[in-house]
Amino acid sequence: MKNETLELTIASDTMKKLKAKAKVYHKSVDWLVQQGVEIASNLDLPVFTRIHNQATRLELPIWCIIEHYFIDRWAYESAEREVRGPVILLTQFARKQNDELIVGEELFNLLKDTYVRELKDYNVLKIESCDKLAAREEMRKYLKPGELAISSEELARRKTDSGQGGGDVK
């Protein structure tokens, strides 16, 4: 691959920051600039547009939007690991199909579809848990001393006997 030279003029404050970062990262200023160029030249337009629009709307620099998204994701993954144990990590999103890296809008749609399914499944489980909890609380009202549980039929009978009505019982 043939290299080309890029002449760049930046504010002296920015150059000072760049030199300081290069020192902290144990990298050269050229390497850092090359990384920035690599990122900018490879972002898909819809991804860049989302980042740019959010930066404009929030009046923040693009780097801040990108950094905050990563920090948010890493914090969420850390909390999820703490609560649920091992989880899929962001690095596992580097998906390939036919030896091609899936990126941009295609990756967004793939991940969104996955998250929508997970959230729907979670909401169903949450509703079922709430229903079961409510049913248990309802049953406790009709338990006799020493009873841990009764059948739904017995619950309906006891509700009818107490004047609360039987109806359908879950």
3-class DSSP string for the chain: CCCCCCCCCCCHHHHHHHHHHHHHHCCCHHHHHHHHHHHHHHCCHHHHHHHHHHHHHHCCCHHHHHHHHHHHHHHHHHHHHHHHCCCCCHHHHCCEECCEECCHHHHHHHHHHHHHHHHHHHHHHHHHHHHHHHHHHHHHCCCCCCCCCCCHHHHHHHHHHCCCCCCCCC
pLDDT by 10s per residue, the chain, length 170? 888 888 989 999 999 999 999 999 999 999 999 999 999 999 989 999 999 999 999 999 999 999 998 888 888 877 777 776 665 555 555 555 666 777 778 777 777 877 777 777 766 666 666 666 666 677 777 777 776 667 777 778 888 888 765 554 44
- Can you give the residue ranges of every domain in the chain? 8-42, 105-170
